[in-house]
Structure 1
């Protein structure tokens, strides 16, 4: 076995994610850079890491009859999950190879006894029938085990959206996410950029949601010369609908209250003209994230209209004059449940209590910035989640507390075939294959 093989690497990353709360994408990127695997091995390691996280509850359900109540070391659990994932979901790898490699890893990371235990579990599993998940009851448990989403979350979404819509969403979140970018229209056009990127990304195409978005089936879009030159930035298609919702004018003075890492900030900045007074003040609680905003703005050539500073948005009223902004964006901290396709571990880290605590923070930010908006100014509230508590529930509470605001339809740059929640705009992952996103727009009367 090579010094670093893709299966061992995957087991180590999965163990770190499970025990230290590491983000899978960051841990994987760091390990791939450090170990410099061949492309084929890097692809397998990536597949194993994301596949196991995406299907974790399903894999554990398959393992349960054989592991029973035995408490496993985290790395042994991760190793068994990778083996079962390969057996069930990867049909090009022979079972013999999976057994042999898994046993070698068990002996290398543990001892002979662990190797024998892992082999016994896998052989017993192979001799048994794969359980029929369609017969599981109640429906929330079937959805949970089939699509590997915690049962409490499956039940909540089924209650709010219906069982059919919830299942349609879950069917998409374990599929590979497309790569998407936002064109910096101050430097190039979507057509020119698509033509320039086509040789390296032959699947590059226009977004179905936004005229400034391009989409590719895969590839490292952040590794090109055009990216380094600031011709585009990486951003999900659904989040590209946020800036247009503000109905920006060249001279608008904008507050982006929760701005890091700056994707929406720089999208706003593209529509502003410093010569006419246009500028966006971008806030974030953490100084290191403020530096990310500044770096993104500089790379895109938009630093002259972006003013980033560290500040808790709930204290914005202590630092800015009342009615001093034409537009305000609150892209609020949220559960991130709309990101389960790109960040599969998010489904396991959230708890029901989060859906009580987060709306309190979201409403506090809205209440703090509302007085800073000019009369006839526009305020946008957005989240990357799909649950009513953080979306329509927050909107209702905000409007009840602020009779001088009225909700209006969310402007979009091109018609959308799928949209929910009017006058707000809710997108679900199964609508366009994007992140789940919510946008609501208000005007101060």
Structure 2
């Protein structure tokens, strides 16, 4: 590998992160945060590192399209070489403040240190040829391929979305995905009002505006909220606006017994707990992975709602073996899913998933709903939510569940505000371009009788 002199070089660090992410070794946001905390980078270099990693991930198919003809003879190119080229082409095409000579020099130095003179020569030759030839035209591509390359989204996702919402809406969704994600917090309304917290944050130098999606949400336009006294003291917590729609849709009342079947890291769990304020209500928070329960407990402690939450390491599909029938008035299944609603925040997801993954996930999602259904009290609500945007994991899962469990019927998913952009029907379906949030799906199912008639 490279010598130690590259340890605080933002391009080298970006390449290392890309190597891990694109080889399935972690999520970009987590690896970036780890790198920033461990390396001594200037503020400018931190910004460059973040820009490079997200930029390459957001535009990977575009960058590969530009590089393709220069790498046709390189059948077994190592992944770090590919990523160094992608980083360089990203800077050339998308960043106008960095001169080509600086890009070439940095890339060649890194290549020489890791792979020797031969690899450095290859990198230099490819970049110089690209500079000389100009950018490859996209005019010969079909509309589907053109959108896939320009938006850098695999064709199967585009075709699925087109079938669901039409071509025009698909273009809008994909165009919105390469905008930077907004940083949003949910205000802990048991401690402070959103208006009061906004005033306090502005006084501390933050730029803040209210959410259009949730009355308890604030958007942080400028400032590091996690380091603030307000976050540390539990006056707010990080949560995407669309996920703030889940707790209100549960229609929680004080004193209720609630099951959160897939709870970690606890953003929705702690939100639900705020509705139990000063009551005997209880939330049982399950997660398959025991270490993740610690995150729920930490969040609950910081926000001052720990007395309402009990955590348990359990696969939600085994819930029927642990709890009595009809023992919960509310159950939330925030199901494991493909995460395709998070493409703005986790751009690499688009390359890791395949259409077949959706079918496998849908089986797990349905199995969890089936397992917890007997635990819902009569007139109780089973709420199903995902952070994805395609029907096989959403509407189709709900339809299959209702067919097998006729004692449940769908009821309108309640929101605090009338959200004009949301594609409701019987569900809440929020797309990433509607409010520049994560994509999200919510369905509310009410148990009308105790009889289970399986067809």
* Structure-1-length-normalised TM-score: 0.97
Do residues 260 (structure 1) and 264 (structure 2) align? yes
Equivalents in 2 of 1:170, 1:103: separation in Å? 34
The residue number in structure 2 matching 1:163 is 167
Do 1:178 and 1:218's aligned partners in 2 also have CA atoms closer than 8 Å?
A: no
- 2:77: which partner in 1? 72
Other-structure match for 2:356: 353
CA, structure 1 residues 127+351, in 2 after alignment: closer, same or farther (shift >3 Å)? same
Provide the residue aligned with 2:321 in structure 1: 318
d(CA) in 1 for partners of 2:168, 2:137: 19
Pair 1:419-2:451 in alignment: no
**Where do 5+ consecutive residues of structure 2 fail to align?**
449-455
Deviations along 1:269-312, whole A, 9 cap, x unmatched? 00003x53211111001110111111110111100001111111
The Cα of 1:202 is off from its aligned counterpart by 3.8
**Residue of 225, 228, 243 corresponding to 1:221:** 225
Instruction: Establish whether residue 126 from structure 1 lines up as the match of residue 131 from structure 2.
Output: yes
Q: In structure 2, what is the equivalent of residue 12 of structure 1? A: 16
Aligned to 1:270: 274
Determine whether 1:340 maps to 2:343. Answer: yes
Q: 1:45 — aligned with what? A: 49
SS of 1:133's equivalent in the other structure is coil
Q: CA–CA distance in 2 between the matches of 1:118 and 1:435?
A: 37
Task: Give the 3-state SS of the residue equivalent to 2:283 in structure 1.
Answer: strand
Within 5 Å, give how 1:241-390 maps onto structure 2: 241-273=245-277, 275-390=278-393
Task: Please give the secondary structure, in 2, of the residue aligned with 1:307.
Answer: strand
The whole-number CA distance in structure 1 between the counterparts of 2:175 and 2:252 is: 36
Cα deviation, residue 421, structure 1: 3.7
TM-superposed CA distance for 1:189, in Å, is: 1.1
CA contact (8 A) 1:243 1:264 kept: yes
Give the structure 2 partner of residue 399 of structure 1. Answer: 402
Indicate yes or no: 2:95 matched with 1:90.
Answer: yes
Q: Give the number of equivalent residue pairs.
A: 443
Q: Does structure 1 conserve the Cα–Cα contact (< 8 Å) formed by 2:341 and 2:388?
A: yes
After the TM superposition, list the runs of 4 or more consecutive aligned residues in structure 1 that deviate by more than 4 angstroms: none
Please list the CA deviations of residues 203-234 of structure 1 after superposition, one character each: whole Å capped at 9, or x if unmatched.
31100000100002354321211111111110
Kept in 2: contact 1:409–1:424 (CA 8 A): yes
The more displaced of 386-395 and 193-202 is: 193-202
Q: Distance in 2 between matches of 1:413 and 1:83?
A: 47
Cα distance, 1:69 vs structure 2: 4.1
Distance 1:98 1:199 in 2: 41
Q: Name which of structure 1's ranges 383-392 and 417-426 shifts more when overlaid on structure 2.
A: 417-426
In the alignment, which residue of structure 1 is the partner of 2:208?
204
Q: What is aligned with 1:178?
A: 182
Q: Distance in 2 between matches of 1:36 and 1:428?
A: 38
Question: Contact conserved, 2:209 with 2:221, CA < 8 A, in 1?
Answer: no
State the 1:106 CA deviation: 1.2
Secondary structure class of the residue paired with 1:407: strand
Inter-partner Cα distance in structure 2 for 1:285 and 1:392: 24
CA distance in structure 2 between the aligned counterparts of 1:3 and 1:402, rounded to whole angstroms: 57
Whether the 8 Å contact between 2:210 and 2:219 is mirrored in structure 1 is: yes
- Long gaps (5+) in structure 1: none
1:183–1:213 Cα contact (<8 Å) kept: yes
* Alpha carbons 1:179, 1:219 under 8 Å: kept: no
Distance between the aligned counterparts of 1:249 and 1:3, measured in 2? 53
Match of 1:142 in 2: 146
Residue 111 of structure 1 corresponds to 116
Secondary structure of 1:91's counterpart equals coil
How far residue 159 of structure 1 moved from its aligned partner, in angstroms, is 2.0
Structure 2 equivalent of residue 151 of structure 1: 155
User: Which of 431, 445, 449 matches 1:442?
Assistant: 445
Q: How far 1:119 moved relative to its partner?
A: 0.9
Q: Using a 3 Å threshold, how does the CA distance of structure 1 residues 43 and 109 change in structure 2: closer, same or farther? A: same
